[in-house]
Amino acid sequence: MRIAVLSGAGISAESGVPTFRDDKNGLWARFDPYELSSTQGWHSNPERVWAWYLWRHHLVREVAPNDGHRAVAAWQDYADVTVVTQNVDDLHERAGSTKVHHLHGSLFEFRCDACDSGYTGPLAAMPEPSLEVDPPQCGCGGLIRPDIVWFGEQLPDGPWDASVEAVVSADLMIVVGTSAIVYPAAGLPELALSRGVPVVEVNPEPTPLSDRVTLCVRQSASSALPALLPQLPELLRQARAKRA
């Protein structure tokens, strides 16, 4: 059986990584997304954007995968599992998932904003997220930026193509911990449904996708995912009977 998992910030929330859009603890409740996650924001204040990503880089290094990440990795014992993640953390990999495609980049990769060269040099210690820190400079004079996909930027071709392939060839898609509003990632469950692939959403809150998926599991990732696979045939049967 082939399983495609689309994950978002919610799966890492229980590890202590804030989500983006939750009312109180979400990053966007405290910080302006278009200032910190756009090329325009970068060009107008690279020191502020750099401090924010440096803070998140260090934060993620200090946290550990949770039972949700571990359950997805454990599914590999029974199925061919491909993880498509919007997350820029490495918690799926650290939990043991081997096929992981990052649609929005990584907090652990850096490149020059002028010549695109990768950067593996030293990084400053963890700052306060709202401070300003000078980004390192490339030999070409450009500034080193996080290798993250900001609003208005194209997703990397390789991970995107591999994700589409995983979704269209899956027998089952699990969508976990995403508000499903950021495109093109949010289009992947719709693509699965259009190909007849059953889609199961795991999220304590409803999303724009909830009405269209095959089954909604209204629980947190760490409580739902460990028990999900053995229950799925019965849950899907019940969901289909309800719709018929």
According to the binding rule CB under 6 A, does residue 175 interact with ligand BJW? Answer: no
* Contact pattern for ligand BJW over residues 18 through 37, marking x by CB under 6 A: -xxx----x----------x
The CA distance from 111 to 148, in Å, is 10
* Contact pattern for ligand BJW over residues 154 through 173, marking x by CB under 6 A: xx------------------
Amino acid at 242: K
Q: Strand pairing of 199-202 and 172-176? A: parallel
Amino acid at 33: P
DSSP 148-195: E--BTSPPPHHHHHHHHHHHHT-SEEEEES--S-STTTTHHHHHHHHT
Nearest approach, Cβ of 69 to ligand BJW (angstroms)?
A: 11
Binding at 37: pick from ligand BJW, Zn ion, none (beta carbon under 5-8 Å per type): ligand BJW
Half-sphere exposure of 227 (CA within 13 A, CB side): 9
Contact residues toward Zn ion (CB under 5 A) are 112, 114-115, 117, 138, 140, 142
Q: Which of 64, 131, 151, 195 binds ligand BJW (CB under 6 A)?
A: 151
The CA distance from 54 to 132, in Å, is 10
Nearest approach, Cβ of 244 to ligand BJW (angstroms)?
A: 28
104 is catalytic: yes
Q: Which residues are known catalytic residues?
A: 104
